[in-house]
Structure 1
Amino acid sequence: MLPWFSDGQFPLFLAPMAGVTDVTFRTICKEMGADVMVTEFVSAEGIMQADHRTRKYTEFTDGQRPVGVQLFGADGVRMGEAAKKIIDWKRPDFIDINFGCPVNKVVSKNGGSSLLKDCPLLAATARGIVAAVGDQVPVTAKIRAGWDLTTINAEEVCGILESEGIASIAVHGRTRSQGYSGEADWNVIDLAARSVGIPVVGNGDITSGEILAKRKEETAVSGVMIGRAAMQNPWIFKEAKHFLQTGETLPPLPVEERWPLIFRHCRLATESDRYGDERHTMMAMRSRLMAYCKGFPGSKALRRQLSQVESVAQLEDLAAEHLVMEHHDEDLTTSTGTAST
């Protein structure tokens, strides 16, 4: 068994998300309590061509362990060679295969969730990677419930992957055709988990410690994977663990306590060489800032300003202005309420 599932542990995974779960964000989520990390997916062909930009996606720090590097493709032999290169560069704790990505540019190359429609090819791909890696590191996989609602086959796919030597499987409870719409089907995840003897990690709509505890109690999953909820609220790992341990829901973190982590994320990003200089880094961070500030008081106007931010100093000024406005609105509400009593 993989060590992060041993001794009754119920690990919380940070889901791999392209353009989101880079080294910087993984550092933050690890500090917040995420147990296992998976890198953004990386093209096996890009690795084989020794593309420098592709190799950057495989980077991680030792402080993020256990961490896996996720590969996509549909040629098990080539992907196996790519996996060996990654292991030689910086031995990850596992190699993960992406059989779940719904994005057209991946699916059109016969990668990601497209293999859910071709189980023999999916099996051959997994077999090739497991054979190439041998006993160097475990190989895991991430899948979806199926291609569409008429072809839900997570149980079948999990059985195939187990027979090919895959050590654990993460199942997203939506089909490829759903994308990220609708609700994740945890009945499908539960049935998949009960159908195999290896750990299955549930993924989809984990937005609070209460929901996480419910999935842990009511399904056979061995862990959960949190994705989009962590984009807005990386504190979710800390909040979820607190609920699991105490049954209590922590109060929402005040906005003024959220800003310092947002600043830190931006500073760490500018210190890395991922996006270039500060201006280009902050431009790349705009979508992340939008996610962080979703639900903030006056977020509509704030998001409009964030769409033009070009430096950390400018962001700090916007935050200071936002906090002043927020407290001013609170004071007005309080005074109005007092006057009417």
Structure 2
Amino acid sequence: MLHWFQNGAFPLYLAPMAGVTDVVFRQICKELGADVMVTEFVSAEGIMQADDRTRKYTEFTDEQRPVGVQLFGGDGERMGEAAKKIIDWKRPDFIDINFGCPVNKVVAKNGGSSLLKDCPTLASVASGVKKGVQDEVPVTAKIRIGWDDKTVNAVEVCKILEDCGMEAIAVHGRTRSQGYSGEANWDVIDACARAVSIPVIGNGDIASGEDLARRKQETAVSGIMIGRAAMQNPWIFREAKYYLATGETLKSVPLEERWELVLRHCRLAVTSSRYGAERHAMMSMRARLMAYCKGFPGAKELRQRLARVESVTEVEEIAAASLLAAAEAGAVTV
């Protein structure tokens, strides 16, 4: 068993999200209580071509362990070779295979959730990665519950993946055709968890400690994966653990503390090797900043301003003005 599931542990995963869960954001979420990290997905072909840009997506620090590198692709042998290259570069705690991404450019390359329609190829990919990695590190997978509502086959897929040597499976409770709309189907996630003997991690619509506690109690999952809620509120990991331990909800994070984290994230992004010049780093941060300020006083105007920032100084000025306006209005939390 993966060591982070041992002794009754119930780990909280930060979901891999392209353009979001880079090395900086993973550091922040780890500090706030996330237990297990997974990198943004990387193309097996990009790894095989020794593409420097692709390699940057696999970066992590030892403080972020346990951490896995997530691969996508449709050729099991090449995927296995790519996984071996990653292990040789810097040994992650596990390799994760992406069978869940709904994005067209991934699906078009016979990767991500497209393989949910082709179980023989899915099995070939999983077996190929397992063979390439052998016993150097564990291999896990992430899936959706099916391609569409007429082909919900997650239980079958989980059994196949277990037979192929996967040591844990994360299940997002939506189909590919749903994208991120509608509600996650936790009945199917629960059925998956009961159908296999390896850990199943549930993913979908976890926005609070109460949500997490309910899914832990009502389903057979061995852990929870949090994605989009963490983009706006990375404190969710701390809040969830507190709720699990006490049954109580933590007080809202003060606006000043929220802005402190936003500014720290900006400064870390600028000093990261990922983005290069400050302007490029801040342009890449714009969507992140707009997510952070959801629910802030004057959020609409804030988003308009943050959508144009090109420097940390600009964000500092926006933060100072926001805090002053909130103090004058008597709003200190969000």
Q: TM-score, normalised by structure 2?
A: 0.98
Secondary structure, counterpart of 2:175 in structure 1: coil
> Within 5 A, what are the aligned runs for 1:125-136?
125-136=125-136
Aligned equivalents of 1:28, 1:309: Cα separation in 2: 21
Partner of 1:253: 253
**AA aligned opposite 2:298:** G
Q: Quote how far apart the aligned CAs of 1:308 are.
A: 1.3
Partner of 1:168: 168
The Cα offsets for residues 249-298 of structure 1, whole Å up to 9 and x where unpaired, read as 00111211111111111100000121111111111100000000011010
Partner of 2:18: 18
The Cα offsets for residues 319-339 of structure 1, whole Å up to 9 and x where unpaired, read as 1111111222238xxxxxxxx
> Within 5 A, what are the aligned runs for 1:98-247?
98-247=98-247
Aligned equivalents of 1:226, 1:195: Cα separation in 2: 22
Aligned equivalents of 2:51, 2:280: Cα separation in 1: 21
Partner of 1:83: 83
Secondary structure, counterpart of 2:25 in structure 1: helix
Partner of 1:327: 327
Partner of 1:66: 66
Task: Name structure 2 gaps, 5 residues minimum.
Answer: none
Partner of 1:27: 27
The Cα offsets for residues 55-104 of structure 1, whole Å up to 9 and x where unpaired, read as 00001000000000000001000000000000000000000000000000
**AA aligned opposite 1:42:** V
Aligned equivalents of 1:252, 1:149: Cα separation in 2: 37
Task: Name structure 1 gaps, 5 residues minimum.
Answer: 332-341
Q: Quote how far apart the aligned CAs of 1:124 are.
A: 0.7
Partner of 1:339: none
Aligned equivalents of 2:297, 2:263: Cα separation in 1: 18
**AA aligned opposite 1:111:** G
Q: TM-score, normalised by structure 1?
A: 0.96
Secondary structure, counterpart of 2:97 in structure 1: strand
Q: Quote how far apart the aligned CAs of 1:134 are.
A: 0.6
Secondary structure, counterpart of 1:173 in structure 2: strand
Aligned equivalents of 1:287, 1:134: Cα separation in 2: 39
Aligned equivalents of 1:269, 1:182: Cα separation in 2: 33
**AA aligned opposite 2:237:** F
**AA aligned opposite 1:149:** D
Aligned equivalents of 1:279, 1:125: Cα separation in 2: 39
Q: Quote how far apart the aligned CAs of 1:217 are.
A: 0.4
Flag the structure with larger Rg.
1
Aligned equivalents of 2:302, 2:135: Cα separation in 1: 51
Q: Is residue 39 of structure 2 the alignment partner of residue 39 of structure 1?
A: yes
Aligned equivalents of 2:219, 2:161: Cα separation in 1: 20
Secondary structure, counterpart of 1:171 in structure 2: strand
Partner of 1:53: 53
Aligned equivalents of 1:9, 1:329: Cα separation in 2: 44
Query: Alignment RMSD, CA only?
Result: 0.7
Partner of 1:338: none
Aligned equivalents of 1:58, 1:330: Cα separation in 2: 44
Q: Is residue 290 of structure 2 the alignment partner of residue 266 of structure 1?
A: no
Aligned equivalents of 2:122, 2:283: Cα separation in 1: 38
